Structure 1
Amino acid sequence: MNLELGKESINKLLLKYSIPAIVGMIVVSMYNAIDRIFIGHIENIGAIALSGVGITLPIVTILLSFELLIGIGVSTNISASLGKGNKKHAEKYLGQLIIVAIFIGLSLVLGISIFKNNILIMFGASESSMYYAKEYIDVILIGTVFYIIGFSLITTIRSEGNPKKASKLLIISCIINIVLDPIFIFYWGIKGAAIATVLSQIFVFVMAIHYYTKGKSNLKLRRENLIPDIIFIKRIIINGLPIFFMQIFTSLIQVIFNNSVKIYGGDLAIGALATIVSISNIFLMPVIGINQGSLPIIGFNYGAKQYDRAKKALIYGTIVGFIILSLGFILVLLLPDKLISLFNKDKELMDISVQGIRIYLFMMPISVIAITAPNYFQSIGKVNTSIFLSLLRQAILLIPLLIILSKYFGIIGVWLAQPVADLLSSIISCVFLIKEFKNYNAMVEAIE
C-alpha cells in the first residue's frame, strides 16, 4: 500500500480509493432518503410524517458528525502512520477508535434521551409533528453505538487499503434497509422505518468487527490497544475536528432552516426541506466520497514531501466533483417534480419543494471547491485552516445570510441563503489554496 500511494498514478489511485468511497457515501445518504421515501408514501399521514422525520434530521446529523469525527480522525492518523512505516501506531489508533466511539455514543444516547422533548421543540416540532418525530428518533438512538463504531470502522477499512470491502459492506447494509423498510413500515409505521435502519447498521458493526479480528485485514484490533491513551485520543479528535465542525454546523443550520421554513411555510415546509436535503445529499455525498478517497493519497504524499502529487489529488478530485454536481444541477433544473415525487405527491408539499430546490441548489456545482478545500488542508495537517474554511461555508456566512435574507424575502430568502454562501466560500477557499500552492516551490527548493 505504501509503495502504491507514493508511486502509482494519481488518476488510478483516485479511481481505486474514491469510487468505493463514493459508493459508500451514496449508500449513507440513501439510508435516510429511503426511510423518507417510504414514510412519505404512508397512506393519509405521509406528508406530516415526513415533516416529523425532517424534525429529527439535525439529530441524525449530530450522530453523523461524531461518527465522522472518529472515523476521519482515526483514518487520517492511520494513513500518516502507514506513510511513515509505523504499523504499530496505526493499530493503536484502531483500538482507540472503539474506546472513543463507545464513550461518545453512550453519552449522546443519554443526553438526547433526557432532553428529547425540549430538543425536538427547539428543532421545529409542532403538536402535529412531535409524535412522528419521537416515534422515529426513539428507535434510531438504540442503534447509536453500533452505528458510530461500525461506520467509523468502514472509513478505516478504506485507509488501511481495502476500499472494495468497505463499499461491499455498505451496499449490503443498504439493501437490507431497502428490503426491510416496506415490511416493517406496514406493521409498525414510522417506527418500522427506524427499526430497519438500525438493523442494517448493526450488520455493518458486526461485519466490520469481524473483519478486524478474524478477517483478512492489514491491521488488527488487539486487546492491548483497547486501553485509553490520552495522547492518541487527542490526535484523533484534533484531526477529526474539521469534518466534525462542518457537520455540527450543518446540524445548526438545519435547526435554523427548520424554524425559518416553519415560520414562512408551516409544517409542510419542513417536509419540503427534508426532501430537498435528501436529494441534494445524493449528489453531494459522492463529493464527500472523493474527499475520503483522496484523504490517504494526499496525506501520504504530503508526508513523503511529494507535494505535486498531493496537489494533483486535490485538483483531479475537484474536477470530478464539479462534473458530478453539474449533472445533479441539470437534473434539478429539468426534473424537479420527478425527483420530489419520489418522496411524496401531496400538491402543497410539491409546490413548496419545487420552488425551494431550484433556488437552494443553484450554486451546487461551484460549492465543490468549498467542500474539497477543507479536506485538503485537513489531509496535510493544517487543521486550523481546515476548520476555518469549514465554518466559513456552514456558519460564518450561511447563518447571517439565512437570518437576513429570510427577514426580507420570506421563504425565498430561506432557500437563497445556501447558494450565496456557497459562492462566497468557494471564492475564499480558492484564495487559500492558491496561497498554499505558492509555498510548495519554496519548500521543494529548501529540500534540494
Structure 2
Amino acid sequence: MNQKSTSAPIAENKMGTMPVGRLVLNMSLPMMISMLVQALYNIVDSVFVAMLSENALTAVSMAFPLQTLLIAVGAGTGVGMNALLSKSLGEKNFEKADRTASNAAFLYSLSYLVFLILGFTVVKPFYASQVHNADPEILKFGIEYLSTVMIFSFGLLGQFFFERLLTSTGKTIFSMTSQLCGAITNIILDPILIFGLIGAPKMGVTGAAVATVIGQCVACIVAGTCNYKFNHEVRLSFRGFRPDLKIIGHIYAVGIPSIIMQSISSIMTYCMNLILVQFTVTATAVFGVYFKLQSFFFMPVFGLNNGITPIIAYNYGARHRKRMLKTVKVSMFIAFCFTFIGFLAFESIPKTLLGLFSASEDMLTIGIPALRIIGIHYLIAWFCIIAGTVFQALGKAVFSMIVSIMRQLFVLVPAAYILASIGGLHAVWWSFPIAEIISLIVSVAFLVVINRTIIQKIPEA
C-alpha cells in the first residue's frame, strides 16, 4: 500500500468542511490582496516609466501582447495543475497529487526554454511590426524592455508553479506572502534602477524590466521556501522521474484552453495597437494606460478566481453540490463589488487616473472619453469572469476558451476596426461594451448547459 495514503490525515481538508462564506474569504482574500499589490506595482512601473517620456510609456505599453502571452502560459498551466491537484486531494488520491506536481514542474521548465528562445528571436520584429515609421526611440526602448523580461522569465514561471501548489492545498496566505515580497521588491527597485538613485546606474526603461525580473525571482524563492516548509499535502520529488503523458494530458486539457483564452488577449492587444497607431501613437499609450488601470480592479477578481477554483474543484470531487453553488454565488457578489468600483472610478475621475501617468494634453483629450466609454463594460464583466472560472473548475475550460475567443477576436477587434472606419478614434472604444454584452449572452447559455449536464447530476455526498 502507498505509504503516502496511509499517512494522510483523516480529517478532511478545510475546503470540504469550513463554512462557505468564510472559506471563500479565507482562500481568496490573501490572493486578492496580493493581486491588488501586483496591480499596484504594475501601475507604479508605468508611472515611473512615464516620467522618462511618453515614448517610454508607449514602448512599455506595446510590450503588453508578448508579456500577456508569457503570463498566459504560466497562469494557464497553473489552472490545469490546480484543477487536477485539488480534485485528486478531494478524492484522497495523494499519490496522483504528487505526480501531478512533478509533471507540472517539468512543463514549466519546457515553457521557460520556449520563452528564452523567443526573447532572443522575435522581440525586434514584433516591435518593428507595430512601430513602422514612428519614433525609433520607441523601438529601442521596447526591445530593451521586452527582451529582458522574456530572457529572464524563469523567475515568473517558477513563481507561478510554487504559488499554484500552495493555492491547490488551501495555503493561500503563503502565496500572498510570496507575491507581496516580489511586488514590494519591484516597487523599491523601480525608481532606483530607472533613475540611478543611491549609487545605482541609471538604466531607464531597462531598469524597469530588471526591477520586474528581480521581483519575480524573489517571489519564486519565497514561494518555493514556503512549499518546502509548510506544504506537506503535496510532496515534490524528481527521483526516477519520467513524464506521465496521461497526467500531462489532464493538466493541459484544462490548461491549454486557459492558455489560449488568456493568449487571445495578446492577439487582441496587438491588433488594437495596429488599429490605434493609424490615428496617433498617443492612442496606443492611452490603450496601454487603460490596461494598467483596469488591472487594479480586475486583478483582485482574478485573485478571487484563484481562490475559488480549488474550492469548486475539491467539492466537485467530493460531491458537495450545495457548497459548490454557494461558492459561486458568494464569489459573484464579491466580483461585482470590485468591478462596480472600477466603473465609478472610470466614469467620475478619468482625468485624475490619466494624470498618474504624466498625461499630456493630447493624451487627456483622447483618454478621458475613452476611459468613460470603456468603463461601461465593468457593469457586465464580473459575471463573465466568474462564469469562466466555474467552467475551468468543472473541467469544461473549453467553454471559457470559446467565450474568450469570440469576445476578443470575433467581436471586439472586428467591431473596433469597423467603428474606426465609420466613426474615427472616438468610436473605437465602444467595441469594449459591445463585446462584453455578447460575452454575457454566451456565458449564460454555457452556464445553463453546465447546470443541466454536470451540477444537477451530482449526488449530494
TM range, normalised to the smaller chain? over 0.9
From 380, 385, 397, the equivalent of 2:394 is 380
Question: Does residue 238 of structure 1 match 2:253?
Answer: yes
Deviation, structure 1 residue 218: 3.2
Q: 201-210 vs 289-298, which deviates more?
A: 201-210
Deviation, structure 1 residue 225: 7.2
Aligned CA distance change for structure 1 residues 355 and 225 (closer, same or farther; 3 Å): farther
Aligned CA distance change for structure 1 residues 311 and 397 (closer, same or farther; 3 Å): farther
From 46, 65, 70, the equivalent of 1:36 is 46
Question: Does residue 183 of structure 1 match 2:179?
Answer: no
SS of corresponding position for 1:291 = helix
Does the aligned pair in 1 maintain the 2:108–2:157 contact within 8 Å? yes
SS of corresponding position for 1:361 = helix
Residue in 2 that maps onto 1:84? 91
Residue in 2 that maps onto 1:13? 23
CA RMSD of aligned residues (A): 2.0
From 95, 98, 109, the equivalent of 2:105 is 98
AA at the equivalent of 1:249: I
Does the aligned pair in 1 maintain the 2:98–2:234 contact within 8 Å? yes
Aligned CA distance change for structure 1 residues 441 and 204 (closer, same or farther; 3 Å): closer
Q: Distance in 2 between matches of 1:315 and 1:301?
A: 15
Residue in 1 that maps onto 2:64? 57
Q: Distance in 1 between matches of 2:97 and 2:452?
A: 32
From 146, 158, 161, the equivalent of 1:152 is 161
Residue in 2 that maps onto 1:348? 362
Q: Distance in 2 between matches of 1:355 and 1:72?
A: 36
Aligned CA distance change for structure 1 residues 429 and 121 (closer, same or farther; 3 Å): same
Does the aligned pair in 1 maintain the 2:119–2:151 contact within 8 Å? no
Q: Distance in 1 between matches of 2:451 and 2:102?
A: 35
AA at the equivalent of 1:38: F
Count of aligned residue pairs for this structure pair: 443
Does the aligned pair in 1 maintain the 2:282–2:363 contact within 8 Å? yes
Question: Does residue 139 of structure 1 match 2:154?
Answer: no
Once the two structures are superposed, the pairs formed by residues 306-385 of structure 1 within 5 Å of their partners are 306-385=320-399
Deviation, structure 1 residue 226: 4.7
Q: Distance in 1 between matches of 2:302 and 2:252?
A: 19
Q: Distance in 1 between matches of 2:234 and 2:143?
A: 40
Q: Distance in 2 between matches of 1:447 and 1:349?
A: 56
AA at the equivalent of 1:211: C
Q: Distance in 1 between matches of 2:210 and 2:316?
A: 43
From 26, 32, 41, the equivalent of 1:22 is 32
Deviation, structure 1 residue 447: 7.4
Q: Distance in 2 between matches of 1:221 and 1:212?
A: 9
Once the two structures are superposed, the pairs formed by residues 266-345 of structure 1 within 5 Å of their partners are 266-345=280-359
Aligned CA distance change for structure 1 residues 154 and 442 (closer, same or farther; 3 Å): closer
Residue in 1 that maps onto 2:425? 411
Q: 383-392 vs 293-302, which deviates more?
A: 383-392
Deviation, structure 1 residue 438: 4.2
Deviation, structure 1 residue 119: 1.2
Q: Distance in 2 between matches of 1:17 and 1:399?
A: 36
Question: Does residue 253 of structure 1 match 2:262?
Answer: no
TM-score, structure 2 length as denominator?
0.91
- String of CA shifts for 1:328-362, please: whole Å, max 9, x gaps: 11011111111111112322122222121111221
Q: 158-167 vs 116-125, which deviates more?
A: 116-125
Aligned CA distance change for structure 1 residues 404 and 430 (closer, same or farther; 3 Å): same
AA at the equivalent of 1:420: I
AA at the equivalent of 1:12: R
Aligned CA distance change for structure 1 residues 217 and 353 (closer, same or farther; 3 Å): farther
AA at the equivalent of 2:96: H
Q: Distance in 1 between matches of 2:90 and 2:148?
A: 41
Q: 105-114 vs 205-214, which deviates more?
A: 205-214
Residue in 1 that maps onto 2:5? none
- String of CA shifts for 1:124-179, please: whole Å, max 9, x gaps: 46334101101211221232122112123212211112101110111121111111
Question: Does residue 48 of structure 1 match 2:55?
Answer: yes
Does the aligned pair in 1 maintain the 2:120–2:151 contact within 8 Å? no
AA at the equivalent of 2:322: D
Once the two structures are superposed, the pairs formed by residues 62-81 of structure 1 within 5 Å of their partners are 62-81=69-88
Q: Distance in 1 between matches of 2:38 and 2:249?
A: 27
Once the two structures are superposed, the pairs formed by residues 201-240 of structure 1 within 5 Å of their partners are 201-224=216-239, 226-240=241-255
Does the aligned pair in 2 maintain the 1:303–1:380 contact within 8 Å? no
- String of CA shifts for 1:304-347, please: whole Å, max 9, x gaps: 22222212211211111111100111011111111111112322
Deviation, structure 1 residue 34: 2.1
Deviation, structure 1 residue 394: 2.6
Q: Distance in 2 between matches of 1:268 and 1:200?
A: 29
SS of corresponding position for 2:243 = coil
Does the aligned pair in 2 maintain the 1:72–1:152 contact within 8 Å? no
Sequence identity of aligned pairs in percent?
Answer: 26
Give the gaps of 5 or more residues in structure 1: none
Once the two structures are superposed, the pairs formed by residues 151-170 of structure 1 within 5 Å of their partners are 151-170=160-179
Aligned CA distance change for structure 1 residues 12 and 263 (closer, same or farther; 3 Å): same
Aligned CA distance change for structure 1 residues 48 and 447 (closer, same or farther; 3 Å): closer
Aligned CA distance change for structure 1 residues 21 and 388 (closer, same or farther; 3 Å): same
Q: Distance in 2 between matches of 1:225 and 1:259?
A: 49
Does the aligned pair in 1 maintain the 2:149–2:210 contact within 8 Å? yes
